[in-house]
Homo-oligomer: A and B are copies of this chain.
Amino acid sequence: MPSNFLTQLQSMTESHGLLFGENTAPYCLDQRRRFQGQALAVARPKSTEQLVELVKLCAEHHIAMVPQGGNTSLCGAATPDSSGHSLIIAFERMNQFIEVDADNNTITVDAGVTLQQVQTAALAANRLFPANWGAAASCQIGGALATNAGGVNVLRYGNMRELTLGLEVVLADGTIWHGLRGLRKDNTGYDLKQLFVGAEGTLGLISRAVLRLYPLPTAHATALIDVDSPAVAVELLRDLQAKVGDRVTSFELISRPCLDLLKRHFPELQQPFSPSPAWCVLLELSDGGNSEQLISQLAEILFDAGFSNAYVAQNQRQAQDFWRLRERIPEAQRIEGVSIKHDISIPVGDIPRFLTECQNELIQQYPDANIVAFGHLGDGNLHYNLFLTEKTALIYQFELAINAIVYRLVAQYNGSISAEHGIGQLKKQSLSQYRTATELLMMRSIKQALDPQQLMNPGKVLLDLNQQID
């Protein structure tokens, strides 16, 4: 079957940008180097029409399709399995269409356009596209949507889901769903676009999207604050929101081990605190008007609330320096070595207790644990990572046991084992444990309804049925 498929694939047209053999290698390895697969080929369509041709050919020959954007998934969601029987569909050449409608506050883009390109196009129209995270320059909108990615501005603007108004999707049989509407309100039946956002390509392939734009803030105020404890951080968040509402754009919690890692691996990055506080908050307000006023308003609020060890950036350079501390944490971790990572969320008010309880349990089991916790406190989302300082080389042996401790507590607080990174291959086993049989059954029945041949990114999100039964 594959050889017949390959013949037809090659005979179709050169413009699919086909890659074979060694040229497929970079597409078969995920960026964290935890998943390596094999593929029949990589196809790189340039248009929705070419994508349709490919999907129809795959459907006809029963060939699995693995969509891939910037290959920046943290869960192996874009990496094929090892069978070598699937076709990777890379969107890098579907990146031409970018259209801003400033009156409607929307931007319409091809799936292969990078997040940074969207940000830049919005800026040129004096608008903000608020989604932002580390991989902005390389990740693509299709992947960001398929993952329902989050980032540092979710507190104010929402995840990719909330930023999406319309989608064009190529369905499993090659039919195009034309859902490219730029409407704020549309109650005409089931909200189909919601199914594809966060589905990691398992229900259909997003080819184009209409995204929300926002007024471009002209004022910014950034502060780095010693907060003593996560409980004080939550209190500060609610106090600030009561006073300045949605101007609170980012609210990031950082623990001392993060600052220690930064000191060790990036000594050139200045840290205002000495000694390092147990917990600090990096926050940003944004607004219209001018920055001076917002900066003095923020300073006043922090002073009134009694934060004596707080640094309010006086200019953009200082603000960037503060942000660089937050942005370099993942890199400092990579340099430090291998860790067991969690991307969890729980109700915001429960985070202080969760942090204490989880640390206590982990330290009891793993006295050499170094817990590097940080993240988007405003969204209840923690990146909760664990190094074993005495058994780094063996750490993956303990992964399941460590996950079990963390996820059990997350479940106790009615939280999520994947807040913003998705499931991919990495967490599909955990998903089947931490979501109910009813939920898994509903997901399967939706999958069955939209992809009856099970060809769309198989082996991601949901376990294969035989694995499920094991």
A439→B169 CA distance, assembly (Å) = 11
Closest to A289 in B: B243
A101→B247 CA distance, assembly (Å) = 22
Of the candidates B187, B198, B347, B442, which one forms a contact with A198 in the assembled complex, judged by CB atoms under 8 Å apart?
Answer: B187
Question: In the assembled complex, how far is the CB of residue A368 from the closest CB belonging to chain B, in whole angstroms?
Answer: 30
Number of interface residues of A (CB under 8 A): 95
Within 8 A of B (CB), among A244-300: 244-247, 287-289
Are B288 and A238 within 8 A (Cβ)? no
Stretch at the interface among A55-63, A334-342, A409-417: A409-417
Say yes or no: A103-B439 contact (C-beta < 8 A), given A184-B381, A245-B215, A381-B185. Answer: no
Are B345 and A438 within 8 A (Cβ)? no
A214 surroundings in chain B (CB, below 8 A) = 245
Are A179 and B439 within 8 A (Cβ)? yes
Say yes or no: A442-B216 contact (C-beta < 8 A), given A185-B420, A186-B419. Answer: no
Are A414 and B171 within 8 A (Cβ)? no
A238→B436 CA distance, assembly (Å) = 45
Are A439 and B189 within 8 A (Cβ)? yes
Are B104 and A192 within 8 A (Cβ)? no
Interface mask (A408-452 → B, CB under 8 Å = 1, otherwise 0)? 000000111111111100010001001110111011011011100
Question: In the assembled complex, how far is the CB of residue A263 from the closest CB belonging to chain B, in whole angstroms?
Answer: 29
Of the candidates B154, B349, B420, which one forms a contact with A101 in the assembled complex, judged by CB atoms under 8 Å apart?
Answer: B349
A154 surroundings in chain B (CB, below 8 A) = 184-185
Are B287 and A435 within 8 A (Cβ)? no
Closest to A434 in B: B188
Of the candidates B158, B187, B287, B288, which one forms a contact with A422 in the assembled complex, judged by CB atoms under 8 Å apart?
Answer: B187
Question: In the assembled complex, how far is the CB of residue A153 from the closest CB belonging to chain B, in whole angstroms?
Answer: 12
Are B461 and A189 within 8 A (Cβ)? yes
Are B246 and A245 within 8 A (Cβ)? yes
Are B446 and A190 within 8 A (Cβ)? yes
Tell yes or no: A181 within 8 A of B by CB.
yes
Closest to A235 in B: B103
Are B103 and A234 within 8 A (Cβ)? yes
Tell yes or no: A363 within 8 A of B by CB.
no
A439 surroundings in chain B (CB, below 8 A) = 177, 179, 189, 192
Say yes or no: A183-B415 contact (C-beta < 8 A), given A242-B215, A438-B175, A445-B450. Answer: yes
Interface mask (A158-186 → B, CB under 8 Å = 1, otherwise 0)? 11011000000001000111111111111
Are A443 and B189 within 8 A (Cβ)? yes
Of the candidates B349, B376, B445, which one forms a contact with A449 in the assembled complex, judged by CB atoms under 8 Å apart?
Answer: B445
Tell yes or no: A147 within 8 A of B by CB.
yes
Tell yes or no: A24 within 8 A of B by CB.
no
Tell yes or no: A106 within 8 A of B by CB.
yes
Are B246 and A161 within 8 A (Cβ)? no
A181→B346 CA distance, assembly (Å) = 9
User: Which of A106, A345, A378 is most buried by chain B, counting CB atoms within 10 A of its CB?
Assistant: A345
Are A419 and B192 within 8 A (Cβ)? no
Closest to A378 in B: B184
A434 surroundings in chain B (CB, below 8 A) = 188
Tell yes or no: A318 within 8 A of B by CB.
no
Task: For the A-B complex with A187-B198, A190-B442 known, give 10 more contacts whose Cβ atoms are closer than 8 Å.
Answer: A102-B238, A104-B347, A159-B185, A177-B436, A185-B379, A189-B423, A189-B461, A190-B199, A190-B203, A190-B443
A residues within 8 Å of B by Cβ?
Answer: 101-106, 126, 147-148, 150, 154-155, 158-159, 161-162, 171, 175-192, 194-195, 197-199, 203, 214-217, 234, 238, 241-247, 287-289, 345-350, 376, 378-381, 414-423, 427, 431, 434-436, 438-440, 442-443, 445-446, 448-450, 461-462
Query: What would be 20 A-B contacts, judged by CB atoms less than 8 Å apart?
Result: A103-B350, A104-B349, A126-B242, A148-B187, A154-B184, A154-B185, A177-B438, A184-B345, A186-B419, A187-B422, A188-B427, A189-B435, A189-B439, A189-B461, A215-B242, A216-B242, A245-B247, A442-B450, A446-B446, A446-B449
